[in-house]
């Protein structure tokens, strides 16, 4: 049966949305086959099966749950069954219906002075797409990403490790696609990965991976994964990794002799998330505030690894320690002669980036000695008797293209 145009009504409590597969006469270009159009907005799909599945299921069930005497459940319309298309967030299920893809436009408040997305914005987008993935799965209860089985067992998710590698930063107004999926991590953990890529070119901007474990909401102690929760999660696991890493590099613990320190940091009420502890993005902000100004002005962060030790509450006083992994003077001298981070911060949608990647002659002439600047970080609470670790971290920094002074004969053939 050949289908060129499919139309179905997706029912919601207060409104209706038209979801259809564009006919070949309605497609914008030959490079965009198998599109999904939602209320006039076209979303790219990796498989026609996604649309066919939507057509096969014309009614979307949503929960109406009363929580603590209020009607938050009715206001949120949390799905009780798996959904394949999200018209509100421009999201859809991929990877055979178990992965999630969301199309996002980089907004003005998500960029810094150089008009590129900030690290905090990228981390917030990773968190948002992860939660939207759970939302679409039909597993979400009234918790912060917790499933129905987790809520019955008073469990919440906490992240134990996270790594983000950024090759290029999206710019203001750029359209990106964020793919996310989950997999097993040992017996009691879950891995979540992300890919951020340009919708225009398909080039990958950033990769991220994380490991999550469960904590008892009342005792605040780590917990094993109950069988009923395992049964909920396992059907969603994918054996694919955004970042291949055989043996994670250990992050050493810093002491009071660290070169840079910022003390007496106090969480604000706005720093707390729905689980009543300091949000992960706030940790990163505290870490980056200890990076020297000359590094922040001339470099962009290309990688960050975080190892979480304990949660941070509203009553904690925090210290942020930072130590360069090598002598900064030596590193700066090396940069003057070996500037190889030529593309960092440059949008791949631009023609100049495409020329370089397609053999413009720059990358083949790069001296292999050059490497990014790296810093080790530690956030810890200040106590009367001892300081408790909150999170250890490592950041890598590459020179911004706009601040580089290229040595003679950097470009091949010149």
Among this protein's residues, is 277 annotated catalytic? yes
Question: What percent of the chain lies above the pLDDT cut of 70?
Answer: 68
Residue with tokens 């917990």: 223
Among this protein's residues, is 21 annotated catalytic? no
* Residue 156 bridge partners (DSSP): 215
What the chain holds in terms of domains, given with CATH numbers, is 78-245 (3.10.129.10), 249-326+372-402 (3.10.129.10)
Of 164-178, 255-269, 347-361, where does mean pLDDT reach its minimum?
Answer: 347-361
Q: Which of 133, 148, 277, 299 is catalytic?
A: 277
State how far the alpha carbon of 140 is from the alpha carbons of 73, 81, 111, 210, in Å: 11, 10, 31, 19
Q: What is the model's pLDDT at position 255? A: 87
Strand segments, DSSP code E, in 78-223 are 85-86, 91-94, 99-105, 155-166, 175-185, 189-198, 204-216, 222-223
Among this protein's residues, is 275 annotated catalytic? yes
Q: Which of 275, 298, 365, 387 is catalytic?
A: 275
Residue with tokens 């999660």: 233
* Residue 408 bridge partners (DSSP): none
Q: What's the mean per-residue pLDDT of the chain? A: 77
The Cα 124–Cα 171 span in angstroms is: 16
Sheet holding 16-21, edge to edge: 6-11, 16-21, 35-38, 41-44
Looking at the predicted structure, is the pLDDT value of residue 26 above 80?
A: no
**pLDDT tens digits, residue range 120-132?**
999 999 999 999 9
DSSP 67: B
Specify the 3-state DSSP secondary structure of 407. Answer: coil
Inter-residue long-range contacts of 357-365, CB under 8 Å, 24+ positions, other chains counted: 357/203, 361/411, 361/412, 361/413, 362/410, 362/411, 362/412, 364/412, 365/409, 365/410, 365/411, 365/412
Q: Which residue has the higher pLDDT, 31 or 7?
A: 31
What does R_g of the chain's alpha carbons equal in angstroms?
Answer: 23
Looking at the predicted structure, is the pLDDT value of residue 56 above 70?
A: no
The Cα 251–Cα 244 span in angstroms is: 18
- Based on the number of CB atoms within 10 Å of its own CB, is 257 exposed (0-12), middle (13-18) or buried (19 or more)? exposed
Q: What is the model's pLDDT at position 72? A: 61
Question: What percent of the chain lies above the pLDDT cut of 90?
Answer: 53
Mean pLDDT in residue range 222-235:
96
- Based on the number of CB atoms within 10 Å of its own CB, is 95 exposed (0-12), middle (13-18) or buried (19 or more)? middle
Q: Which of 312, 339, 344, 377 is catalytic?
A: 312
């Amino acid at each position: 049966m050949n289908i060129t145009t499919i139309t179905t009504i997706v029912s919601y409590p207060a409104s209706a949305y038209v979801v259809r597969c564009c006919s070949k006469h309605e497609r914008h270009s030959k490079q965009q086959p198998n599109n999904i159009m939602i209320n006039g907005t076209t979303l790219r799909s990796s498989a026609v099966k996604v649309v066919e599945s939507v057509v096969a299921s014309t009614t979307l069930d949503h929960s109406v749950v009363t929580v603590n005497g209020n009607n938050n459940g009715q206001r949120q319309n949390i799905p009780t069954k798996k959904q394949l298309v999200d018209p509100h967030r421009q999201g859809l299920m991929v990877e055979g219906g178990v992965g999630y893809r969301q199309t996002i436009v980089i907004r003005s408040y998500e960029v810094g002075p150089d008009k590129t997305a900030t690290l905090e914005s990228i981390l917030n987008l990773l968190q948002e797409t992860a939660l939207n993935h759970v939302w679409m799965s039909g597993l979400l209860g009234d918790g912060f990403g917790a499933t129905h089985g987790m809520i019955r067992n008073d469990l919440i998710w906490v992240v134990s490790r996270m790594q983000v590698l950024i090759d290029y930063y999206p710019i203001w107004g750029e359209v990106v696609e964020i793919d996310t999926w989950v997999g097993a991590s040992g017996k009691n953990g879950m891995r979540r990965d992300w890919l951020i890529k340009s919708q225009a070119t398909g080039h990958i901007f950033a990769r991220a991976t994380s490991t999550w474990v469960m904590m008892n909401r009342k005792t605040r102690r780590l917990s094993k994964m109950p069988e009923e929760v395992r049964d909920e999660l396992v059907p969603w696991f994918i054996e694919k990794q955004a970042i291949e890493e055989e043996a994670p590099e250990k992050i050493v613990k810093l002491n009071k002799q660290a070169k840079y320190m910022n003390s007496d940091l106090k969480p604000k009420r706005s720093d707390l998330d729905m689980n009543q502890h300091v949000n992960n993005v706030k940790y990163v902000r505290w870490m980056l505030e200890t990076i020297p100004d000359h590094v922040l002005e001339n470099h962009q962060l290309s990688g960050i690894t975080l190892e979480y030790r304990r949660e941070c509450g509203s009553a904690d006083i925090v210290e942020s320690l930072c130590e360069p992994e090598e002598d900064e003077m030596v590193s700066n001298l090396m940069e003057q002669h070996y500037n190889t981070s030529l593309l960092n911060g440059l949008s791949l949608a631009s023609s100049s980036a495409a020329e370089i990647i397609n053999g413009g002659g720059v990358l083949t002439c790069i001296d292999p000695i050059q490497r990014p600047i790296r810093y080790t970080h530690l956030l810890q609470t200040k106590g009367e008797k001892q300081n408790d670790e909150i999170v250890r971290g490592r950041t890598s920094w590459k020179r911004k293209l706009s601040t580089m002074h290229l040595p003679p004969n950097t470009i091949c053939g010149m």
